[in-house]
Structure 1
Amino acid sequence: MSDGTMRTGGVDLAAENKGTALAVIEWTPDRARLEQLSLDVDDAEITEVAAGVARLGIDCAFGWPDEFVGFVTAHADLAQPQTPDGGMAWRRTLAYRETDRQVRERSGRWPLSVSTDRIGLTAMRCAGLLGRLAGSGLVVDRSGRDGAVVEVYPGATLRVWKWEMRGYRSDPEVRRSLVQRMRREAPWFELGARAELMVESTDAFDAVVAALAARAAATGRYDPPPAEHQERAEREGWIILPSCPLGELLHWPSTESPAGATRTAR
């Protein structure tokens, strides 16, 4: 790892294999190469790749808000008095995790709510996937401080990089312009023919960004959960946002060893 060689992976997770994309980037001291980019990926392939990378970034919520879990548990107990509705501000505590609030502060946008929005089914698949990864012998730390996987959010990653990405999820030409910008800011990143798949498929594009965010996590260039939120992040999950621009991801930070890189690079 100290020689700058590693592999990172990224997953744009969907509720089913259709719509799920997987990217793997190989990093060496002087270049990075998009080694793999696949669509319609199943959990078995994700688990296999996770065993061979320094970090795997997964674009999906790793858990639900503590308050939401407590509310549903209490509501299911018919012997107990029902929880009164505390108004919209109270309902928002059920809708958003602590990491969602932190992401809004950095990126200016709320992530989708895992408890009230359409990503719930995907989060259920993700919970099963995390269990499968743990069952395979990998360390799963939902806070992202340690282990094989980190929660990532490609849209917020692009926003903290200050990229103009309005419409990128629906317009291939916007994605083409982002791929071109990626090549300008990171001329050392070899996309090869797979770049066209990033233009054709939003899922493929997001998987690559997820793998780039995983590189930031593996080299310690992200803001970990504050100490007061660490235990909550271990339950709810914590979105990793790079603390450096894309162009700086190739080289190791100036500190001795990356804070987040605890596994042997392959």
Structure 2
Amino acid sequence: MSVRTVGVDLSAEPAGTAVATLEWADGAAVVTGLAERADDEVVLEAITKADKAGIDCPFGWPLPFVDFVSGHRDGHVSGHPTLEGRDWRRELANRTTDTAVRERTGLIPLSVAADRIGHAAFRCAWLLAQLSRRGVDVHRAGTGRVVEVYPAASLKVWGLRQRGYKGAAHRAERDQIVTELRAAAPWLDLGAHDEQCRASDHALDAVVAALSARAAAIGLVTTPASDQAAAAAVEGWIAVPTAGIDALAAAEPPV
């Protein structure tokens, strides 16, 4: 029985959005589709047809930030009872999962509350709402069909380069990643999309997101601890792989 995972490198606009589709069967994975400049309908259709989909974009905002903005709207910003200055601002800017990723990998996810990635998050929130209306389970902690992923963290866990490969000027760095990825995962067939991944960081990130979705589907990713679950259900949770990339093709469990 084949299993389909989808990866979405989501940007605020279609121009920076890519969607990868992987089919898994008999210990191998094939990239069967890799769409760039993907509009909302392309994203929605791909996820609707997937067994598990990984989206590279925050699923929500930090709860303290939401409370702060609500308080500002109502005219009663009161600050934090114990924190001040930079520490208070850091709590407003970072989600529980951002802190967990930093502690686990040393990488610092972009702040959805204080960085331009917020524009992509607006689009993501709308897409998640549309998926929910279509009957797709979009629980923000990743327990449903969609899960929040972070390609840089996945690449780092898998022992691959995770920095300095974005943009047209860094083709050589992407070549290195794709070559190393193919060596680390000989069961992964990029087919006609090999050159596309080398030419576009969006395409490459979409493939890594689809691989990360596979890790989530077979339970080889981080999940919220009991004291993190409530925040993750609202803010979102980045699923970071907990095993090497070779484990992704080791079994064919149900999704």
TM-score of the superposed pair, with normalisation by structure 2: 0.94
Partner SS for 1:27: strand
- Deviation per CA, 1:188-241: give whole Å up to 9, x if none: 111112110101111000000000000001111112111111111010000011
Q: How far apart are the structure 1 equivalents of 2:32 and 2:104?
A: 31
Structure 1 segments unaligned to the other structure (5+ residues): 262-266
Cα offset, 1:160, TM superposition:
1.7
Structure 1 Cα separation of the partners of residues 116 and 145 of structure 2:
26
How many aligned positions are there? 250
2-structure distance, mates of 1:42, 1:24:
15
Instruction: Indicate the structure with greater helix content.
Output: 2
* Aligned 8 A contact 2:157 2:243 in 1: no
1:106 maps to 104
Q: How many Å separate the matches in 2 of 1:59 and 1:148?
A: 14
Q: CA deviation at 1:169?
A: 1.4
Distance in 1 separating the partners of 2:209 and 2:191: 18
Show the counterpart of 2:234.
235
Match of 1:166 among 163, 168, 173: 163
For residue 54 of structure 1, report the CA deviation from its aligned partner.
Answer: 1.2
Residue in 2 that maps onto 1:185: 184
Pick the aligned partner of 1:74 from 71, 76, 82.
Answer: 71
Post-superposition Cα deviations, 1:24-50, rounded to whole Å, max 9, x if no partner, equal 000002311000001011111111111
Instruction: Measure the CA separation in 2 of the matches of 1:127 and 1:165.
Output: 26
Which position in structure 1 is the counterpart of 2:121? 123
Report how far residue 163 of structure 1 moved: 1.7
Distance in 2, Cα, partners of 1:31 & 1:64: 36
Equivalence map 1:203-222=2 (5 Å) = 203-222=202-221
Aligned to 1:32, which of 29, 32, 35?
Answer: 29
The one-letter amino acid paired with 1:34 is: V
Shift of 1:164: 2.7
Q: Secondary structure at the match of 2:228?
A: helix
Contact 2:153–2:162 (CA<8 Å) still a contact in 1? no
Distance 2:27 2:7 in 1: 21
Contact 1:222 1:241 in 2 (8 A): yes
CA shift digits 1:1-24 (9 cap, x unpaired): xx5x20100000000111100000
**TM-score, structure 1 as length reference:** 0.90
2:78 aligned to 71, 75, 83, which one? 83
- Counterpart among 132, 150, 155 of residue 134 in structure 1: 132
CA–CA distance in structure 2, aligned partners of residues 215 and 205 of structure 1:
16
**Percent identity at matched positions?**
46
**Which SS does the other structure have where 2:88 is aligned?**
helix
What is the Cα-based RMSD across aligned positions, in Å? 1.4
Q: Post-superposition, which runs of at least 4 consecutive aligned residues in structure 1 deviate over 3 A?
A: none
**Deviation by residue 1:48-82 (Cα, 9 ceiling, x = unmatched):** 1112111110000000000000000001002x3x3
**Aligned partners of 1:165 and 1:174 also within 8 Å:** no
Tell me how far apart the structure 1 counterparts of residues 162 and 236 of structure 2 sit (CA, whole Å): 25
Following the alignment from structure 2 to structure 1, what is the Cα–Cα distance between the partners of residues 196 and 67? 42
Q: Which amino acid aligns with 2:124?
A: C
